[in-house]
Amino acid sequence: MHPAFSVIFFTVASGAGFGLFSLLFIADVFKLGGGFEREQLIIGGLMAMALVVFGLLSSTFHLANPKNAWRAFSRFRTSWLSREGVFAVLFMPLALVYLASIWFDAPLWLRETSGFLTAVLAWITVFSTGMIYACLKTIRQWNTPLVPANYLALGYASGSLLLLLGAVVSGLDTTPYIAMSALILSIAAVLKAIYYFWISSPGLGPTINTATGLTRAKVKLLDTGHTHGTFLTQEFGFQIARQKAGLLKIVVFVLGFALPGLMLVWVFNQQGGQVAAIVAVITGIVGAAVERWLFFAEARHVVNLYHGAQRC
């Protein structure tokens, strides 16, 4: 699949935003590390919402006809793309209710109920983002429950690193935040490793034989029938060299998980302080972006069987 930059930015930014908001709520409920001040909670919440909004706006850049984008909310009963849009938009007012109840010192039940509902909605939205890809039977590398699991784990991992930075800047006790980040980073790394292992074996999907129905003999493509590329080859023809993909997987694990993990140790030992937390956020998010690029680059659509591939 052709990796579209706007979609990579969208999924990484909105994933981090939804993750940050959910974890901010948890930090608020349990007053982790002494608990954030009122203003700090508001700033953190607004930053999370800004990440979500920027992500959603960037996602419209890959539309060829964005003037009809508003119609995307209409088919939430069948389409995961529509569901994602609906839930992302529902998230906003609920998140504002939560932040307002913090600002105006609303009764605790309102604050915690709205916060809980917002966190659940954030979870559902990121799950929907993953399901956009996971529901496609045409792409073996995506059609697995590991995909929404990866999207959620990486969103929460980026969010937890952002929250840790907030805790460091706010001068809270960072130990619970470090523990939370370490746990989520480990889960995300393990899930990603399982995913890479899973897609590395060819599976039993369609082949050039089932694609043409000529199942009794070897089949090979002689001619695609077009002189230059088509929409199909431009959208689905993207191929990445196995060696390059292997190298990028190392980059994903080093930048996305190992370096942020190392920075957690530094923050814990009070060696790096803010700098270590900032480095953790930057490497974590760059790692997530590389992971997302590779997620698209490695996906092989079955239509490639009509352009010469023997199996996908």
Binding residues for other proteins, per CB under 8 A? 1, 62-69, 71-75, 78-82, 85, 132, 135-139, 205-206, 210-214, 217-232, 235-236, 301-303, 306
What is the closest distance, in whole angstroms, from the C-beta atom of residue 149 to other proteins in the complex?
A: 20
- Least CB distance to other proteins at residue 237 (A): 11
Among candidate residues 177, 156, 183, 199, the one with its CA nearest the CA of residue 12:
156
Cβ 13 vs Cβ 54: under 8 Å: yes
Burial class of residue 264 in the structure, from the number of CB atoms within 10 Å of its CB (0-12 exposed, 13-18 middle, 19+ buried):
buried
CB of 307 to other proteins, least distance (A): 8
The burial of 262, by beta-carbon neighbours within 10 Å (0-12 exposed, 13-18 middle, 19 or more buried), is given as: middle
Closer residue to other proteins (CB): 68 or 243: 68
Which stretch of DSSP H or E encloses residue 75? Answer: none
> Sign of the CA dihedral 174, 176, 178, 184?
negative
Q: Which is nearer to other proteins, 107 or 213 (by Cβ)? A: 213
Residue 39 Cβ vs other proteins, minimum distance, rounded to whole Å:
38
Nearer to other proteins, 107 or 225 (CB): 225
Cα gap 184→260, rounded to integer Å: 11
Provide the token pair at 28. 């608020």
> What is the smallest separation between the CB atom of 229 and other proteins, expressed in angstroms?
6
Token pair of 30, please?
């349990």
Nearer to other proteins, 2 or 244 (CB): 2
CB of 204 to other proteins, least distance (A): 8
| 207, β-bridge pairs | 311
Q: Measured from the CB atom, is 107 or 220 closer to other proteins?
A: 220
Identify which of residues 214 and 275 has a Cβ nearer to other proteins in the complex: 214
